[in-house]
Amino acid sequence: MESAVKRIGVLTSGGDAPGMNAAIRSVVRSAAKMGIECVGIRRGWAGLINGDILRMESDSVSHIINRGGTMLYTARSDEFRTEAGLQKAANTCKLLGLDGIVAIGGDGTFKGARELSAYGVAVVGVPGTIDNDIVCTDYTIGFDTAANTAVECIDRLRDTMQSHERCAVVEVMGRHAGYLALYVGMSVGATAVLVPEDHYDFHTDVAEKIRRARLGGKTNFMIVVAEGAASAVDVGRQIQEELGLDPRITILGHIQRGGCPTAKDRVMATRMGYEAVRVLAAGKTNRVICAHDDKIFDVDITEGLNMKKTLNPEEYEVMEVMSGT
């Protein structure tokens, strides 16, 4: 039976993540295969309000699967949070004849999509954020690339720290979530990892771990800090004042967002993009695409946003054992 969906839009919103281009490519080519026209919406929800669009076909997304960032650009829109802004966005959908929107981004993007659906626009969200903090899915596009970027940087940093027998404090992204910091910390054999989910005590969680590592024969130390847990500069200052070490501070910042996506991010983005179009073609709305046990499926956006996600306690336990503390 032919789908009633004839034309859809695709956009990226919020922070960019490696693999977003692969997801855009998947949406465009999946739509073409299903006989659905696709319109690219530039600059997120702001672009939908302003009608900043381009028609997209299979050739439009050639040679982008390996590119970082997003060819559709991304932005945040205060206007879209207002009733007037939502109405403008809905009017754009009517004007262009869009039967649905695929929104690639994080929880803020999904909340916006849910609000827009109240105006009669079918929406499906695809999780794209390096923080991996979307509660209803085990994996979000961009996490693997960001983690590997951070690990590569820290491995290089460790070489010089080891040569000079120094302490390094490295700040990674993770304003509200410590998944990236914990994963990276375990990957590089960090002495300590600080995450926003747990209020840390400097003496217990940093100083004592460095002392025990030193008593165990280590002469260089690696502290990984999620940006939402503490300031690497402040942690470094405390280490200098209380332990007499001369730490080197490195803030990786937005370097973690860039670069060519890993194979995992490309594959997951492709699978999720395809599923998003399939869900829209089936006449569904208010859905978010999720991954669990290598399966791709969809759940209700509100249900997904209301779920609780915590750090993996096993990873915490293993991290403690590996650091010898």
Which residue among 107, 131, 133, 298 is the active-site one? 131
Homologous superfamily of 146-258 in CATH?
Phosphofructokinase domain (3.40.50.460)
In the chain, CATH 3.40.50.460 covers 146-258
In the chain, CATH 3.40.50.450 covers 7-142+261-306
pLDDT category, 85, cuts 50, 70, 90?
very high
One-letter identity of residue 243: L
Each residue's pLDDT tens digit, 114-167: 999 999 999 999 999 999 999 899 999 999 999 999 999 999 999 999 998 899
Q: What is the pLDDT of residue 154?
A: 96
99 among known catalytic residues: no
CB 43 within 8 A of CB 74: yes
- Span of 158-162, 234-238, 247-251, 268-272 with lowest mean pLDDT: 158-162
Return the CATH class of domain 7-142+261-306. Answer: alpha beta
**Residues facing 98 on adjacent strands:** none
Between CA 90 and CA 217 the distance in angstroms is 64
Phi, psi of 128 (to 5 degrees): -130, 100
Alpha carbon 57 to its chain's center: 26
Between CA 21 and CA 66 the distance in angstroms is 8
Q: How distant, in Å, are the alpha carbons of 100, 166, 284 from that of 34? A: 14, 58, 15
Full-model pTM: 0.94
Q: What is the pLDDT of residue 148?
A: 97
Nearest to 222 by CA among 241, 209, 237, 238: 209
Q: At what angle do helices 232-243 and 208-215 cross, to 10 degrees?
A: 60
User: What's the token pair of residue 26?
Assistant: 């998947």
- Span of 41-45, 116-120, 170-174, 175-179 with lowest mean pLDDT: 175-179
To the nearest whole number, what is the mean pLDDT of the chain? Answer: 94
Q: What is the pLDDT of residue 198?
A: 85
Each residue's pLDDT tens digit, 228-242: 999 999 999 999 999
CB 7 within 8 A of CB 35: no
